[in-house]
A and B are shown apart, each in its own frame.
Chain A
């Protein structure tokens, strides 16, 4: 018996099955139902915005990242998530530009996957919000003709978009904030209201996120603490003055809270590495969401809440370092 070409590697010689691309592609898979529903609701405009955003995210990753980086799926996630935070009527060149900015300046300048402090999709959206505030707050109604655009979908870059022709509607949060009218909670739960591509069905987001949490590809402590904080804080204010403040269920189901809490706050790269840190991170996001929504100048605050907490992650990690085995408990030798 001669020694075959023996492989000599360092221990451990076994490894768990889930790899980083497995995690990424499972996240993409769980976004597919949400994408399908948003295309159903907002028709061809949704499809084009998604395509533009994905293209905008993949292009810089392909050009400037390491060879084969596109295959790990992380840039694709950024593209899809950014599109889901955009209004359906947005000109697609803006979607492309936002995704390009998010990946190039939000991720690649820091060194690519794993190095970015901020969620690239949200950074892309923050860029768009600052650059094109009108386009980012024009909300067409769902449904309608399959081939009709919801706005200046095909507008040329930097040509000022006229007031959209399509019928627009206010988002539930906008209605609440600026007109003090509420939307049916059941409509919110199922998702047939005005809003961004992805901030529609709370139920669907919860189901898709639940799958990821079950596979342990998503840290459930983050959305759980966000939801609990939002419910508790807004519940408190609702009890104090129900006429002025929205009811906590409305706060939970409206806007981008579901999508943000489940898919964006849980981005592994930009969330804390410790369990304790995840609770702190989630509570911080929840509190900021309530503060921005109730007293801020914007109707929606999920994006800034997450970005602000992203900035605190290195500190949260430092505060919540694990305590070395054997250094907590005093040793007591019997007898």
Chain B
């Protein structure tokens, strides 16, 4: 097993941004009070948006289903607080657009206690029943992309899966959600792992954790069960170590080919916070209603790791952390490398919101753009071995179909090229634009 024989398993290329995790890495997870209103967008997972099944005026209890999945790659959405549906309208979405959302006025006198929605017994269920329960609970990957968990757990029959890989890298700077999940709830991570292994029928599991989290590595190692082949693999601290393809490369030394999925190399990858949530569903009998969110950055008065009801508006979340400092300038949903800058504090926390990072004037000084000097630093940074310099020059003149031939589709917008560019050319932004331009062109034809 090559992955464990060397202590610094990793992938080639990548970058080393300052980790900046000390603000919250030692802060124990606590629960934030319920806000006055929660807003639940129908589009918060990869796949087709959910379809609302409530009307304004309906009373909902915490845990009630308020929107139905609309296909196989889709999940239902549940009320994250007891209250009254006040509106069904378009509301600011963290991706910058407006999305159909169910707004719930939270009942200030409710204890937010609720009854079981899922049978809190998992050991008697068959893999199929387990996957069904996970789907009904609205579970998605909590690492950012929010891919429906039940889809990952249902690979086609002919596809042999031999290993489950857990992602505890959390390579984005500032964020400590996965870190605190592993330190504060290691038994949940391991129970969730057990359930996932049963669903997939795999015998082996590797948990990849970057070496800058020794307490998480220790906490998970302490709880490792005797009867399962689960091992912790400490990985080098490097961005984007947590990207699926990079993690698979580091842990089992397999390269997922262009356009293929992890299952094509026999692996399923899941983020540790999502795994812990699987355990939580069967422990509490409740669907996915809340998640751990890191609220951090120099622009936040009291950085914290909070258990937050899904749908909490950023305004309420930041208030629970003491508010913003005076020179707060940029509020990012997600990590600073791939997260989205927010224009409105009305946008809510989604199932896939890993953290909120607030940067001050100092961190986001806009820097002048210079001509490309062909230094080649972007080629050394790109984790999937593209030529960002060439792609960037093509993007600037709109040669999108040529970019496609240069494998634009393999770019995962990790931002390494923009990060290292000494001329501050917004490469990953150009690639994002080129991808959308190509999509528009395809739709038009």
Scoring A residues 311 to 335 as 1 if CB is less than 8 Å from chain B, else 0, what string do you get? 0000000000111111111011111
> Residue A272 at the B interface, CB < 8 A?
yes
Q: Is A145 an interface residue (CB 8 A)?
A: no
Is the beta-carbon distance between B376 and A324 smaller than 8 angstroms? no
The answer to whether the Cβ of B160 comes within 8 Å of any Cβ in the partner chain is: yes
Contact with B along A4-47 (1 / 0, CB 8 A): 11111111111110111111000000000000000000000000
Contact A7 B329 (CB under 8 A): yes
**Distance in angstroms between the alpha carbons of A334 and B160 in the assembled complex:** 9
Q: Is A115 located at the chain interface by the 8 A CB criterion?
A: yes
Distance, CA A72 to CA B328, complexed state (A): 31
CA distance A321 to B357 in the complex (A): 37
Pair A7/B422 contact, Cβ less than 8 Å: no
Complex Cα distance A331/B423, Å?
Answer: 37
Specify the main secondary structure of chain A where it touches its partner.
loop
> For the complex, is B166 an interface residue (Cβ under 8 Å from A)?
no
Q: Is the CB of A4 within 8 A of B341?
A: no
**Residues from chain B with Cβ under 8 Å of A10 in the complex:** 341, 426, 428-429, 432
CB pair A331–B341 under 8 Å, yes or no, is: no
Complex CA–CA separation, A115 to B328 (angstroms):
39
Question: Cα distance A331–B258 when bound, in Å?
Answer: 12
A: contact size bracket: 35 or more
In the assembled complex, the Cα of A269 lies from the Cα of B339 at a distance in Å of 32
In the bound complex, CA of A328 to CA of B253 (Å): 13
A159→B303 CA distance, assembly (Å): 74
Is B370 a contact partner of A21 (Cβ separation < 8 A)?
Answer: yes
| B287 interface contact, C-beta 8 A | no
Say whether, besides A273-B374, A322-B386, A11 and B337 are in contact (CB < 8 Å): yes
The residue of chain A having its C-beta at the shortest distance from the C-beta of B248 within the complex is A326
Q: Are A326 and B370 in contact (CB under 8 A)?
A: no
- The reply to whether A12 and B418 form a contact with Cβ atoms under 8 Å apart is yes
Closest Cβ of chain B to A318, distance in Å, is: 10
Interface readout for A101-126 with B: 1 if CB under 8 Å, 0 if not? Answer: 00000000000111100000000000
A-side contacts of B334, CB under 8 Å: 11
Partner of B428, one of A7, A11, A20, A112: A11
Give A13 to B264 CA distance when docked, in angstroms: 33
Among B315, B359, B364, B375, chain A packs the most CB atoms within 10 A around the CB of B375
Whether the pair A6, B341 counts as a contact (CB closer than 8 A) is: yes
**Min CB–CB distance B103 → chain A (angstroms):** 19
Bound Cα distance A15, B428 (Å): 12
Tell me which residues across on chain A come within 8 A of B323, comparing CB atoms.
1
Any chain B CB within 8 A of the CB of A63?
no
Question: Which B391-445 residues have C-beta < 8 A from chain A?
Answer: 407, 410, 413, 415, 418-424, 426, 428-429, 432
B171 located at the interface, meaning its Cβ lies under 8 Å from any Cβ of chain A in the complex: no
Q: Is the CB of B422 within 8 A of A20?
A: yes
**A residues within 8 A CB of B215?**
none
Shortest Cβ distance from residue B156 to the other chain A in the assembled complex, whole angstroms = 14
B57 → A minimal CB distance (Å): 30
| A14 → chain B closest CB, angstroms | 5
Per-residue CB proximity of A230-255 to B under 8 Å, as 1/0?
00000000000000000000000000
B68-94 vs A, Cβ < 8 Å mask (1 yes, 0 no): 000000000000000000000000000
Q: Which residues in A have their C-beta under 8 angstroms from that of B379?
A: 273-274, 322
Contact of A6 among B254, B342, B370, B373 (CB under 8 A): B342
- A22 contacts across to B, CB distance below 8 A: 422
Q: A1-B323, A11-B428, A19-B422 are in contact. Are A333 and B338 (CB under 8 A)?
A: no
Closest B residue, CB atoms, query A216: B377
Least distance between A271 CB and chain B CB atoms (Å): 8
Asked if B124 is at the interface (CB within 8 A of a chain A CB), the reply is no
Asked if A114 and B384 make an inter-chain contact with CB atoms under 8 angstroms apart, the answer reads no
How far apart are B398's CB and chain A's nearest CB, in angstroms?
18
Within 8 A of A (CB), among B328-362: 328-332, 334, 336-345, 357, 359
* CA A279 to CA B341, docked complex, whole Å: 41
Shortest CB-to-CB span from A328 to chain B, Å, is 7
Q: How far is the CA of A327 from the CA of B258 in the complex (A)?
A: 7
The docked-state distance in angstroms from the alpha carbon of A19 to that of B365 is 13
B383 to A, closest residue via Cβ: A325
Q: Given the known A-B contacts A322-B385, A325-B255, A328-B255, are A19 and B345 also in contact in the complex, defined by CB atoms under 8 Å?
A: no
Known contacts: A325-B245, A325-B384. The answer to whether A8 contacts B389 by CB under 8 A is: no
CA distance A328 to B257 in the complex (A): 9
Q: How far is the CB of B94 from chain A (nearest CB, A)?
A: 12
Tell me the nearest residue of chain A to B331, going by C-beta.
A6
CB distance from A54 to the nearest CB of B (A): 20
Report yes or no: A9 in contact with B258, Cβ–Cβ below 8 A: no
Tell me whether B389 and A273 are in contact (CB under 8 A): yes
**Which chain B positions have C-beta within 8 A of A11?**
332, 334, 336-341, 413, 415, 418, 428-429
Chain A residues within 8 Å of B162, by CB: 333-335
Asked if B222 is at the interface of the complex by the 8 Å CB criterion, the answer is: no
Q: What separation, in Å, do the CA atoms of A269 and B410 have in the docked complex?
A: 27
Min Cβ gap B352→A in Å is 15
Question: Would B364 and A7 count as touching, CB distance under 8 A?
Answer: yes
The docked-state distance in angstroms from the alpha carbon of A287 to that of B329 is 55
One of B330, B368, B376, B413 near A9 (C-beta < 8 A) = B330
Q: How far is the CA of A19 from the CA of B373 in the complex (A)?
A: 11
On whether the beta carbons of B423 and A6 are closer than 8 Å, the reply is no
Q: Which of A201-216 touch B at CB < 8 Å?
A: none
CA distance A329 to B257 in the complex (A): 9
A18 surroundings in chain B (CB, below 8 A): 422
The answer on a CB contact under 8 Å between A9 and B364 is: yes
Instruction: Decide: B256 and A326 in contact? CB cutoff 8 A.
Output: yes
Report the minimum CB–CB distance from A12 to chain B (whole Å).
3
Q: Which residue from chain A places its CB closest to the CB of B345 in the assembled complex?
A: A3
A298 proximity list for chain B (CB < 8 A): none
Q: Are A23 and B345 in contact (CB under 8 A)?
A: no
Closest to B330 in A: A7
Contact with B along A184-205 (1 / 0, CB 8 A): 0000000000000000000000
Select B257's contact among A114, A115, A321, A326, beta carbons within 8 Å. A326
User: What are the 5 closest A-B residue pairs judged by CB atoms, nearest first?
Assistant: A12-B415, A273-B376, A10-B429, A333-B266, A114-B371
List 15 interface pairs A-B (beta carbons < 8 Å), by A numbering. A1-B324, A7-B329, A7-B341, A8-B330, A12-B336, A12-B338, A14-B173, A16-B422, A19-B370, A72-B370, A269-B374, A275-B376, A321-B387, A322-B385, A325-B258
- Beyond A9-B341, A11-B334, A11-B413, 4 extra complex contacts between A and B, CB < 8 Å: A6-B343, A275-B376, A325-B385, A331-B265
